[in-house]
A and B are shown apart, each in its own frame.
Chain A
Amino acid sequence: MRLHVAQCLSSVMLVTGVVCGVSLMPPATRAGESAMAGDAGAVSKGDHVAFIADAQSIAANRAATVNLHFRVEPGFHINSHTPKSDMLIPTKLVVAMIAGDPEVTAVDFPVGTPFAFAFEPKQKLDVYQGDVVLMAHVKAATGQHSLKAELRYQACDQAACYPPKTLAVEQPFTAK
Chain B
Amino acid sequence: MRNAVVGGLIVLVVALLVWSGVHNLHARRAEEARARDQQMTIAVDKKGATATATAGGETVADLRGKPAGVFTLTSSTGKRVSLNDYKGKPVLLNFWATWCTPCKVEMPWFEDFQKKYAAQGLQVVGINEDDDAQSAEVKDQIKKTLERTGVDYTILMSDKSVGDAYGGLDVLPATFFIDRSGKIVAQAIGLASKDEAEQNVQKIVVGS
Q: B32-46 interface mask toward A, CB cutoff 8 Å, 1 = contact, 0 = none?
A: 000110110110011
Quick check: A121 and B173 within 8 Å, CB to CB?
Answer: no
Quick check: B103 and A161 within 8 Å, CB to CB?
Answer: yes
Quick check: B102 and A162 within 8 Å, CB to CB?
Answer: no
Quick check: B97 and A161 within 8 Å, CB to CB?
Answer: yes
Distance from B47 Cβ to chain A, minimum over Cβ atoms (Å): 11
Query: Taking A120-B105, A160-B171, A163-B170 as contacts, is the C-beta distance between A87 and B57 under 8 angstroms?
Result: no
Which single member of A73, A86, A117, A163 contacts B101 (CB below 8 Å)? A117
Q: Which of B98, B105, B173, B191 has the most A CB atoms < 10 Å from its CB?
A: B191
Distance from B34 Cβ to chain A, minimum over Cβ atoms (Å): 8
Quick check: A159 and B191 within 8 Å, CB to CB?
Answer: yes
- In the complex the two chains form, what is the Cα distance from A86 to B145 in whole Å? 11
Distance from A154 Cβ to chain B, minimum over Cβ atoms (Å): 6
Task: Tell me the A55-77 residues at the B interface (CB within 8 Å).
Answer: 73, 75-76
Whether B190 sits at the interface, judged by CB under 8 Å, is yes
Task: Tell me the B42-62 residues at the A interface (CB within 8 Å).
Answer: 42, 45-46, 49, 55-58
Distance from B164 Cβ to chain A, minimum over Cβ atoms (Å): 14
B residues within 8 A CB of A157?
Answer: 45, 56, 190
Task: Tell me the A128-176 residues at the B interface (CB within 8 Å).
Answer: 154, 156-164
- In the complex the two chains form, what is the Cα distance from A133 to B175 in whole Å? 36
Whether A13 sits at the interface, judged by CB under 8 Å, is no
Which single member of A89, A120, A159, A160 contacts B99 (CB below 8 Å)? A89
Whether B144 sits at the interface, judged by CB under 8 Å, is yes
- In the complex the two chains form, what is the Cα distance from A121 to B131 in whole Å? 28
Query: Taking A45-B57, A87-B145 as contacts, is the C-beta distance between A159 and B35 under 8 angstroms?
Result: no
Distance from B195 Cβ to chain A, minimum over Cβ atoms (Å): 13
Give chain A's interface residue range (CB within 8 Å of chain B).
20 to 34
B residues within 8 A CB of A118?
Answer: 35-36, 38-39, 41-42
A residues within 8 A CB of B191?
Answer: 119, 159-160
Whether A88 sits at the interface, judged by CB under 8 Å, is yes
Q: Which of A45, A87, A156, A159 has the most B CB atoms < 10 Å from its CB?
A: A159
Q: A39-60 interface mask toward B, CB cutoff 8 Å, 1 = contact, 0 = none?
A: 0000001101000000000000
Q: B126-170 interface mask toward A, CB cutoff 8 Å, 1 = contact, 0 = none?
A: 000101000000000100110000000000000000000000001
Give residues in A with beta carbon < 8 Å to B: 45-46, 48, 73, 75-76, 86-89, 116-121, 123, 125, 154, 156-164
27 pairs from A and B in contact (CB 8 Å cutoff)? A46-B58, A73-B57, A75-B41, A87-B141, A88-B101, A117-B38, A117-B105, A118-B36, A118-B38, A118-B41, A118-B42, A119-B102, A119-B105, A119-B191, A123-B101, A156-B102, A157-B45, A157-B190, A158-B41, A159-B41, A159-B191, A160-B56, A161-B101, A161-B172, A162-B170, A162-B171, A163-B131
Give residues in B with beta carbon < 8 Å to A: 35-36, 38-39, 41-42, 45-46, 49, 55-58, 97-103, 105, 129, 131, 141, 144-145, 170-173, 189-191
